[in-house]
Amino acid sequence: MKLEKLLFIFGLLILAFQSSQGQAFTAMKDETTWRKKIAENAKNTKSLKADFQQEKNLAMLSEKLTSKGSFHFLNGKVRLEYKTPFNYLMIINNGKVTMKEDSKTTQMDMNKNKIFNQINKIIIDCVQGNALNSKDFTVSLTENPTQIKMEMNPLVKGMKDFFKNIIIQLDKKDLTAQKMILNEKGGDNTIIQFSNKQLNASIPESLFVVK
Amino acid sequence: MHPYLKVFLWLSSCCFFSSCVSVKNRSLLNVFTQCPPVYEHHLTDGRYNTKIDFHNRHFSGILVFKNMNDTTKRVVFITETGFKFFDFELTPQRFEKVYVVKNLDKKFVLHVLEKDFRMILFAPNDKNGVEQINDPVATVLKFPEKAEKFTTYYSDKKCNSLQRITYGSKNKIATQIDLEKGSSKSFEKIYIQHKQLGLTMDLKRMVDEME
């Protein structure tokens, strides 16, 4: 009896460990079907709102900077609002990037900044699930029972200078991004996790205008 | 004049001037030992909300200062969205750019940033020729540098904390750094002005950090 109890407890510990680590990703069994589903989902995603937590890891310094905020997407417009530990707002609307921290507002024309343009395109492609069709990256897919992992390796020079790769983990239930990992060449990375996601919820246009 | 009188006058003036020098050195030695804020490590590890204004351009982000060991410091600047602008490593004798974004990778820009960070992070290590300036409200120590420039340190009269550092020539201050200490050992606020360049950097220590 004693041995059975020990084995049972041991088994529970193994399960607990596995679930805390996340399940491993393996080669996709039906990649064509999933690619179609992702593309279909992309067409149907008009808006998305979510909370996010961003973690910036500076590897050499063993430093982790964590921030939280809210994310809104509507018809190609993006609003990224950081609420803790600082207030910072970034809105991408109609080819312009507007940034506001405290009372100071700065605006930049995205067309004059290639890198910004490329990063914006990644965000929108990821949100809408168009990343698979991106000409700026090679994209490989793997899966586990609940998620799809997209690994994007940059092809374009500007992006290659900044990123080693970008990994996006999609929830199989609604094919929205759960996690985005931007891996830099020097070993640093930025991890963004999304929660409380609402797909195609009503979002006022006024959110994409800086007041 | 009688020859003995000449010798006497000559010997007297030698004694007079040498005693002046020794009195000056004695008073400086007293100041060195009694005004520690000028000579202590100025900054411990810390993260600072940073606003940079250069002519009409405004940038913001987080400056991370990290002690790697007793002599080596790292300074990293990232935007709120996690984009790294620069990563420098400094020792009292060496400056290394671990990473710097292309637009900032200019000799002049790096020189300005190196000088600023060096003044904030490291105590003056060369006491030769240092002069104490009379001031009614502060203890002021002036250190000669190359090309007839000076770095001047201002502490309160009781030498409790370092309040200002300036760099420039005899008649013109090129850089002024104002420092404000809070309850912690580190500075709560640092304000750097480059008067001729039209560049300011406003740093506020981040207190509320999440894990």
* CA closest to A186 among chain B residues: B99
Q: Write out pLDDT tens, residues A123-138.
A: 777 766 677 777 888 9
Q: Do A60 and B84 touch (CB under 8 A)?
A: no
Does B52 contact chain A (CB < 8 Å)?
Answer: no
| CA pair distance B1, B14, nearest whole angstrom | 19
Distance from CA of A66 to the nearest CA of B (A): 6
A84-93, A152-161, B31-40, B180-189 — most confident range: A84-93
- Report the complex ipTM: 0.81
Choice between B26 and B193, residue whose per-residue pLDDT is larger: B193
List of chain A residues whose C-beta atoms are within 8 Å of the C-beta of residue B99: 186
Question: What is the pLDDT at residue B210?
Answer: 39
Q: Do B99 and A186 touch (CB under 8 A)?
A: yes
Question: What is the pLDDT at residue A116?
Answer: 67
The answer, yes or no, to whether residue B36 has pLDDT greater than 50, is yes
**Which of A11-15, A43-47, A180-184, A200-204 bottoms out in mean pLDDT, i.e. has the lowest?**
A11-15
Mean pLDDT, chain B, integer: 81
| CA pair distance A116, A126, nearest whole angstrom | 15
The answer, yes or no, to whether residue B25 has pLDDT greater than 70, is no
Question: What is the pLDDT at residue A198?
Answer: 93
| Chain A (133-152) residues lying within 8 Å, Cβ to Cβ, of chain B | none
**Which of A84-93, A151-160, A174-183, B104-113 bottoms out in mean pLDDT, i.e. has the lowest?**
A151-160
Does A65 contact chain B (CB < 8 Å)?
Answer: yes
Chains A, B: CB pairs < 8 Å:
66
Question: What is the pLDDT at residue B102?
Answer: 83
Does A99 contact chain B (CB < 8 Å)?
Answer: yes
The answer, yes or no, to whether residue B104 has pLDDT greater than 80, is yes
Question: What is the pLDDT at residue B208?
Answer: 53
The answer, yes or no, to whether residue B11 has pLDDT greater than 70, is no
Does A104 contact chain B (CB < 8 Å)?
Answer: yes
Distance from CA of A182 to the nearest CA of B (A): 10
Q: Which amino acid is at A29?
A: K
Q: Do B51 and A104 touch (CB under 8 A)?
A: yes
| Chain B (170-199) residues lying within 8 Å, Cβ to Cβ, of chain A | none
The answer, yes or no, to whether residue A70 has pLDDT greater than 50, is yes
**Which of A9-13, A87-91, A108-112 bottoms out in mean pLDDT, i.e. has the lowest?**
A9-13
Question: What is the pLDDT at residue B90?
Answer: 95
Q: Do A84 and B210 touch (CB under 8 A)?
A: yes
B100, B129, B128, B130: which is closest to B114 by C-alpha? Answer: B100
Question: What is the pLDDT at residue A186?
Answer: 83
The answer, yes or no, to whether residue A27 has pLDDT greater than 90, is yes
Q: Which amino acid is at B13?
A: S
Question: What is the pLDDT at residue A9?
Answer: 57
Choice between B14 and B205, residue whose per-residue pLDDT is larger: B205
Does A157 contact chain B (CB < 8 Å)?
Answer: no
Does B64 contact chain A (CB < 8 Å)?
Answer: yes
Best of A54, A56, A164 to disrupt the B interface (most B CBs within 10 Å) is A56
Q: Do B60 and A101 touch (CB under 8 A)?
A: yes
3-state secondary structure chain A: CHHHHHHHHHHHHHHHHHHHHCCCCEECCCHHHHHHHHHHHHHHCCEEEEEEEEEEEECCCCEEEEEEEEEEEECCEEEEEEEECCCEEEEEECCEEEEEECCEEEEEEHHHCHHHHHHHHHHHHHHHCCHHHCCCEEEEEEECCCEEEEEEEECCHHHHHHEEEEEEEEECCCCCEEEEEEEECCCCEEEEEEEEEEECCCCCHHHHCCC
Question: What is the pLDDT at residue B132?
Answer: 86
Does B206 contact chain A (CB < 8 Å)?
Answer: yes
Kindly state the tokens that stand for B202. Answer: 């406003």
The answer, yes or no, to whether residue A160 has pLDDT greater than 70, is yes
In this prediction, residue B8 has a pLDDT band, given cuts at 50, 70 and 90, of very low
List of chain A residues whose C-beta atoms are within 8 Å of the C-beta of residue B81: 54, 80, 88, 90
Compute the average pLDDT of residues B125-135: 80
Does A114 contact chain B (CB < 8 Å)?
Answer: no
Strand locations in B26-169, DSSP E?
46-54, 57-67, 73-78, 84-90, 95-100, 131-133, 138-144, 149-156, 162-169
List of chain B residues whose C-beta atoms are within 8 Å of the C-beta of residue A161: 102
Does A83 contact chain B (CB < 8 Å)?
Answer: no
Question: What is the pLDDT at residue A95?
Answer: 86
Strand order in the sheet with B138-144: B95-100, B84-90, B73-78, B57-67, B46-54, B199-205, B187-194, B173-181, B162-169, B149-156, B138-144, B131-133
